[in-house]
Structure 1
Amino acid sequence: MSNWRLLLTRPADECTALAQVLTEHEVASSSLPLLEIEALSLEEPQRGLLRSFDRYAAIIVVSKPAARLGLAELSRYWPQLPHSAWFTVGAASAQILQEHGCQVSYPAAGDDSEALLQLPALHQAIAGPAPRVLIMRGEGGRELLAERLTEQGASVDYLQLYRRYLPAYPDGALSARIAEERLNGLVVSSGQGFQHLRQLAGEQWPQLAQLTLFVPSPRVAAQAREAGAQNVVDCRGASAAALLAALRQLPAPAL
């Protein structure tokens, strides 16, 4: 895998962690964070959701920032967390919650909402009468979870804890980084991450669209192909392990 030279686009701290794992496996990388996290100030209606936290049959946490910020907000109202059924879309978010003593269920394969909705433990959690579900997420996330859970008779509330935005970079910064470091693969961890990649690429997108693009799910893969990406690899997960597995399956282009 040593011929791979990847551009990492996650938030800065996650790029650092992923780059370290890749280095251990002799994969070169360069970090250009395309997602910056800004915590939101909660207004009274959302603070009310936290005060009634023990009334939820299931709590779904969709990302690592949602896990960290959600736990911080809960600590203001619940010095001792009530026993709750927690769910995440991936192992990394689950680990953050587990370190705080939460019992967490998540899909063994596939870091996305579709995989979570198939989880038997989630169906069991909302099997009672008039179940309430709390979804901790960023501003403007997908509606699929709420739609499907509502169809199954659950009442769904959102706790929006942060927003993601594209950091400021000079014009041409993306293309320049790829050319200077001879990168031959791009890695995005979400649909919004891909949107920011496409936005920053600007007029250079047709050229960059020919590079191998590693994405976390079929949904993001379809989004990328629709935008013109020519070589899309669905890692079926956003973890370092999922990316490494995909790299092992695919020979790197010649440098």
Structure 2
Amino acid sequence: MTGWRLLLTRPADESAALSSLLAEKGIFSSSLPLLEIEPIAVSDTMREVIQGLDRYCAVIVVSKPAARMGVDLVNQYWPQPPSPRWFSVGASTAQILEDNGLNVSFPDEGDDSEALLELPQLRKAIARLDPRVLIMRGEGGRELLAERLRELGASVEYLELYSRGLPQYPPGALPDRIEAERLNGLVVSSGQGFEHLHQLAGDAWPQLARLPLFVPSPRVAELARAAGAQTVVDCRGASAAALLTALREHPGPVL
């Protein structure tokens, strides 16, 4: 596992935390954030949603930025946490909510929407007359979760709290970093993260596509393979634990 020299592409603060955990395992990593989180200005509609939070039988928070921003809004309007059941896709997002006094359910295995949809607590929460679900997320996220919940009879609304941009880098920054630091593996945490990786690679993509690529889900794996990535490893989650498990199962090159 210590033969890996990985490129991390998460937002800067998340990459720093992941890099520290990898270093404890003897794994070298280099950070080139490909997602820049920009909060969306709070509108009257967003305030109305938060003020009416007790109308929902379930609130689903799909990312750590959504958890942090969502909690900030909730604390502005609710002296006591509201009554809906809270859910998250993964343990790291759940921890942010729990640290703010919210009771959160999340899948023990599988750090993705598919695993959350199978969670008995979520099925129970929406097994009522006219169930309403709120999803806190970034702008323009994945639609699968809402589609499946609607199939189960729930009405679903979004509270979009931030946008994800591609930070500005000089031409050639990505292949230059990989060559200079002799990186032999790439890590992305979302479909948009992969799209930004592909975009930033530019003409160097055919070469970079030969490197092993660690992705968080079958959906992102499919995107990567369709774009020509030759060795795609589905970590079945975006957490550090999921990545470490995948690295153990796919030993890196011997240095």
* TM-score, normalisation: structure 1: 0.98
SS in 2 for 1:230: coil
> Which consecutive unaligned segments of at least 5 residues does structure 2 have?
none
Instruction: Supply the distance in 2 between the matched residues of 1:66 and 1:22 (Cα, whole angstroms).
Output: 25
Indicate the residue corresponding to 1:224 in structure 2. 224
Indicate the residue corresponding to 1:139 in structure 2. 139
Instruction: Supply the distance in 1 between the matched residues of 2:135 and 2:189 (Cα, whole angstroms).
Output: 20
- The amino acid that maps onto 2:240 is A
Instruction: Supply the distance in 2 between the matched residues of 1:193 and 1:19 (Cα, whole angstroms).
Output: 17
Deviation at 1:84, TM superposition (A): 2.3
In the alignment, is residue 37 of structure 1 matched against residue 41 of structure 2? Answer: no
Indicate the residue corresponding to 1:167 in structure 2. 167
In the alignment, is residue 248 of structure 1 matched against residue 251 of structure 2? Answer: no
Map Cα deviations across residues 132-157 of structure 1 (whole Å, 9 max, x no partner).
10100000001111111112211111
Map Cα deviations across residues 164-205 of structure 1 (whole Å, 9 max, x no partner).
000000000000000000000000001110000000001100
SS in 2 for 1:75: helix
Deviation at 1:21, TM superposition (A): 0.2
- The amino acid that maps onto 1:66 is A
Deviation at 1:42, TM superposition (A): 2.2
SS in 2 for 1:156: strand
SS in 2 for 1:30: strand
Deviation at 1:251, TM superposition (A): 2.0
1:32-181 alignment runs, 5 A limit: 32-181=32-181
Stretches of 4+ aligned residues off by more than 6 angstroms: none
Instruction: Supply the distance in 1 between the matched residues of 2:134 and 2:160 (Cα, whole angstroms).
Output: 10
- Could you tell me whether the CA contact under 8 Å between 1:84 and 1:103 is conserved in 2? no
Deviation at 1:254, TM superposition (A): 4.3
Q: CA RMSD in A?
A: 0.9
Instruction: Supply the distance in 1 between the matched residues of 2:150 and 2:234 (Cα, whole angstroms).
Output: 29
Instruction: Supply the distance in 2 between the matched residues of 1:9 and 1:66 (Cα, whole angstroms).
Output: 18
In the alignment, is residue 201 of structure 1 matched against residue 201 of structure 2? Answer: yes
Indicate the residue corresponding to 2:215 in structure 1. 215
- The amino acid that maps onto 1:110 is G
- Could you tell me whether the CA contact under 8 Å between 1:201 and 1:208 is conserved in 2? yes
Instruction: Supply the distance in 1 between the matched residues of 2:146 and 2:243 (Cα, whole angstroms).
Output: 28
Map Cα deviations across residues 82-112 of structure 1 (whole Å, 9 max, x no partner).
2320111111100100111111111111111
Map Cα deviations across residues 13-65 of structure 1 (whole Å, 9 max, x no partner).
00000000000000000000000100001221221111100111000000000
SS in 1 for 2:77: coil
> Which consecutive unaligned segments of at least 5 residues does structure 1 have?
none
